[in-house]
Amino acid sequence: MKRSEIYHSDPEILGGTPVFVGTRVPIETLLDYLRKDKRIADFRDDFPTVCEKQAESLLELVAQDLLAVS
């Protein structure tokens, strides 16, 4: 997925906080779930408006960005 299909930031939505496209769910929420040792499935159960592909693609982007820095 393209970055623009995964998340975006709009000043009209949660004051510009990056959210998953088509939702009002901040991407930080998924990262918080993972920090608390919860699974993507738990996140998706609680936020069904975020598609599985979006959540997985976000994590791939984060991994790619981290590898690009090193």
Q: Name the pLDDT band for 70 (thresholds 50, 70, 90).
A: low
CB 36 within 8 A of CB 50: no
Is residue 10 scored above 70 in pLDDT? yes
**Cα distance between residue 16 and residue 43, in whole Å:** 22
Share of the chain above pLDDT 90, in %: 90
The pLDDT of residue 69 is 73
Strand partners, 64: none
The three-state secondary structure class of 55 is helix
User: What domains, with CATH codes, occur in the chain?
Assistant: 3-61 (1.10.10.10)
